[in-house]
Amino acid sequence: EAQVTQNPRYLITVTGKKLTVTCSQNMNHEYMSWYRQDPGLGLRQIYYSMNVEVTDKGDVPEGYKVSRKEKRNFPLILESPSPNQTSLYFCASSPLGLVDTQYFGPGTRLTVL
């Protein structure tokens, strides 16, 4: 089954404790992206990647890191989480050139105390 998986789905952590949210897709897609969704602010892009070792900033990259060492994985790293990073995070993937084909993961709800 074609899918994007995210882990963990729910996480409560404390300020400053490094964490990684994993994202994996099984469709050999070149493009992957991370978003955060907050009430009243909508969906905002954090980082995106158009292929292995190619990443670029979205609208809200501050406080986040990403890496794309393999095509299937695109982890989101919070080196020193802060309460303002409490949010619902989505990972997405799509093949380059097929603009109407996108898959979103189920979301990760992160709470930073």
Partner 1 sequence: QKEVEQDPGPLSVPEGAIVSLNCTYSNSAFQYFMWYRQYSRKGPELLMYTYSSGNKEDGRFTAQVDKSSKYISLFIRDSQPSDSATYLCAMSVSGANSKLTFGKGITLSVRP
Residues engaged in binding partner 1 (CB under 8 A): 30-31, 33, 40-45, 48, 50, 56-59, 90, 92, 94, 96-97, 99-102, 104-107
Nearer CB in complex with partner 1: 83/106: 106
In the complex with partner 1, which residue's Cβ is closer, 17 or 57? 57
Residue nearer to partner 1 on the CB measure, 3 or 15: 3
Closest approach, Cβ 43 to partner 1, in A, equals 4
Sign of CA dihedral 51, 52, 56, 61: positive
Three-state DSSP class for residue 58: coil
Report the C-alpha gap between 55 and 71 in whole angstroms: 12
Are 46 and 56 in contact, with CB atoms under 8 Å apart?
A: no
